[in-house]
Amino acid sequence: MVSRRALMKAAMALGAAATVGGCGEGEPAASGERLERTKLKVGVVPVIAVVPMYLAVSEGLFATEGLEVELLPMDGGADALKPLTQGGLDLAFVNYVSAFQAYSKGAPLRIVADAYQALPNLAPVVVLPNSQIRGPAELAGKRIAVNQLNNIGTLTIQSLLRIYDVDDRDVRFVEVPFPQMPGAMVKRVVDAAWLPEPFLTGARMKLGVIPILDPGSGPTEGMPIVGYISGEEFVKDNPRTLVAFRRALMRAGQVANEKRVKVEEAMQQRINIDEDITRLMKIGEFPLSTSVTRLQRVADLMRDFGMLKTRLDVTPMVAA
């Protein structure tokens, strides 16, 4: 299982060295277009969904486009919203719930690229083997760990609990960083945890955790989870730069989809995950395009559960 110390070590390494050489300011990309900006700061969270970003760096795909990308580690995507809107970041890896909530309150955000989608068995709610909870209905009145409150985890869990006639108001969500969730269950700080890969496989190997609810299935299957977000002004001023950024990221996503070994290597090298875990973990599909229709599903579901006061049309948020 990955330790908090290992994650911190990886985070410091990313912040210090996760750059790739590019051309000078204004140099042309592989397409021959002269870019408005060639140096970008991108906030990332060290999880499997960020693998294409790591590959775009390590495989030289950003460099080919004339881009120099600095990856800055964040605890959670929502933490990146403030530096993103204040100019400390050019782009950030942010869950869509946080992005839509901020946008609905006036934050000038734009979606540049999709990063990951909900699929079965990628991030279930799990319990310890000795837990008395054996099914979704028994989560009523229990504490569930999520990495951040009022985000995509809570939304998808609430949506699925409704199918099992569990009132989401009867469930208490507790904010716990992913690496600390297994320990929080052992110490009985929480009764269950929303645990994505690679932390899921690590907890299975060490503790034998048991999935009891799969928020990536049923009505939320295929739902976009996270994406790369930028500010409206940055998008307006740097159209060619963002085309080059997307092109490199999509090529990296294709590499990740076709070559599992590349994903495993990235997880081992960038996040310091054990080889045994990377070999066993489930890997989803990395999207190569952004679907407005699917993004609207997220916003509509947020409205259903009171995370948005009114219906939000996401179309203006999606950068061309």
Judge contact between 71 and 42, C-beta under 8 A. Answer: yes
Q: Is the domain of 99 the same as that of 245?
A: yes
Q: 75: pLDDT confidence band, cut at 50, 70 and 90? A: confident
Q: Is the domain of 98 the same as that of 235?
A: yes
User: For the whole model, what pTM was predicted?
Assistant: 0.84
Q: 87: pLDDT confidence band, cut at 50, 70 and 90? A: confident
Q: Is the pLDDT of residue 29 over 60?
A: yes
Judge contact between 159 and 219, C-beta under 8 A. Answer: yes
CATH number at residue 185: 3.40.190.10
Q: Is the domain of 40 the same as that of 129?
A: no
Boundary of a domain, candidates 173, 189, 220: 220
Q: Is the domain of 259 the same as that of 277?
A: yes
Residue 28: per-residue pLDDT: 62
Q: Is the domain of 215 the same as that of 229?
A: no
Which domain covers residue 79, as residue numbers? 4-116+223-317
DSSP at 34: B
Q: Is the domain of 21 the same as that of 109?
A: yes
How far is the C-alpha of 290 from the C-alpha of 112, rounded, in Å?
Answer: 9
Radius of gyration of the chain (CA): 19
Q: What is the mean pLDDT of residues 90-105?
A: 95
Q: Is the domain of 160 the same as that of 279?
A: no
Boundary of a domain, candidates 170, 199, 220: 220
Q: 169: pLDDT confidence band, cut at 50, 70 and 90? A: confident
pLDDT in tens, 276-300: 999 999 998 899 999 999 999 999 9
DSSP at 35: P
Q: Is the domain of 11 the same as that of 111?
A: yes
Q: Is the domain of 249 the same as that of 103?
A: yes
pLDDT in tens, 36-71: 999 999 999 888 899 999 999 999 999 999 999 999
Q: What is the mean pLDDT of residues 198-215?
A: 95
Judge contact between 20 and 54, C-beta under 8 A. Answer: no
Q: Is the domain of 90 the same as that of 51?
A: yes
| Average pLDDT value over all residues in the chain | 88
Residue type, 65: E
Structure-token match 């397409």, residue found: 31
DSSP at 170: G
Q: Please, which residues have CB within 8 angstroms of residue 106's CB and are 6 or more apart in sequence?
A: none
Q: Is the domain of 19 the same as that of 77?
A: yes
Q: Is the domain of 10 the same as that of 106?
A: yes
What are residue 72's DSSP bridge partners?
43
Residue 24: per-residue pLDDT: 40
Judge contact between 182 and 207, C-beta under 8 A. Answer: yes
Boundary of a domain, candidates 168, 186, 220: 220
Residues making up the chain, counted from first to last: 320
Give how many domains the chain has, as a whole number.
Answer: 2
